[in-house]
Copies of this chain bind each other. A is one copy, B any other.
């Protein structure tokens, strides 16, 4: 809508790929160098980009700090965290919390496994949307139109032989998840990693977030992990209760 701002913001994902110099930025934006310079300067003043010693630009520290504040403002995160920590205490595995927003599913909290083998994932990282258990729960709750439209738009990378291969398969899987009220990912993202997930609902009954427990085969088999399902669901329900204002929450400050 606003050309100047639009161009300036387009620089950010570009720099997210790695540092770039003025010429590269100008080329990729399709504008004159002087224009790119002015945009970069403005971004720089706001701390969103940083100019490193070799004169190239990269994303800046304030961007990271802003994102941090953004996450801290998500009240569901505050509410859920103690529950996630408690679940991690009792089962020892990695626990994730994720939300859906504008065609993306994002981890917004994580409690690391207490086993030495840790899986790779990061708060703030977009989730493998076609296979992750939390993603299935979040998408399964979208209105049908939106769900179908999104499913068509997605790519279906074959991370493993068990990855969801196509839009129809994905929609069927979502339907199943929707009915059973929980989801699993058994080696669909990484061969040896399984997850079970449960939905967290707001006052309106819609799925506001999803949480999961993940563990590699070398620690527990898929079947063993599935025995945790009731515990995961209970935890998710407890969070739902607090988040929707039904349960007053017996803590804190």
Residues in chain A within 8 A of chain B (CB atoms) = 1-2, 4-6, 8-10, 12-13, 16-19, 38-39, 41-43, 45-48, 50, 58-73, 99, 101-102, 104, 106, 108, 112, 122-126
Report whether A65 and B126 are in contact in the complex, using a CB–CB cutoff of 8 Å.
yes
Given that A18-B73, A39-B2 are known contacts, is A102 also in contact with B66, CB under 8 Å in the complex?
A: no
Measured CA separation A41–B112 after assembly (Å): 37
30 contacts across the A-B interface (CB closer than 8 A): A1-B38, A1-B41, A1-B45, A2-B39, A4-B4, A5-B5, A5-B42, A5-B43, A6-B42, A6-B46, A8-B8, A12-B66, A16-B66, A16-B69, A17-B69, A47-B104, A58-B70, A59-B66, A59-B69, A60-B70, A61-B101, A62-B104, A64-B70, A64-B106, A64-B108, A65-B104, A65-B125, A67-B124, A68-B124, A123-B123
A50 touches which of B101, B112, B122 (Cβ 8 Å): B101
Measured CA separation A65–B124 after assembly (Å): 5
Question: Chain B contacts of A62 at CB under 8 A?
Answer: 102, 104
Report whether A42 and B12 are in contact in the complex, using a CB–CB cutoff of 8 Å.
no
Report whether B101 and A60 are in contact in the complex, using a CB–CB cutoff of 8 Å.
yes
Q: How far apart are A206's CB and chain B's nearest CB, in angstroms? A: 9
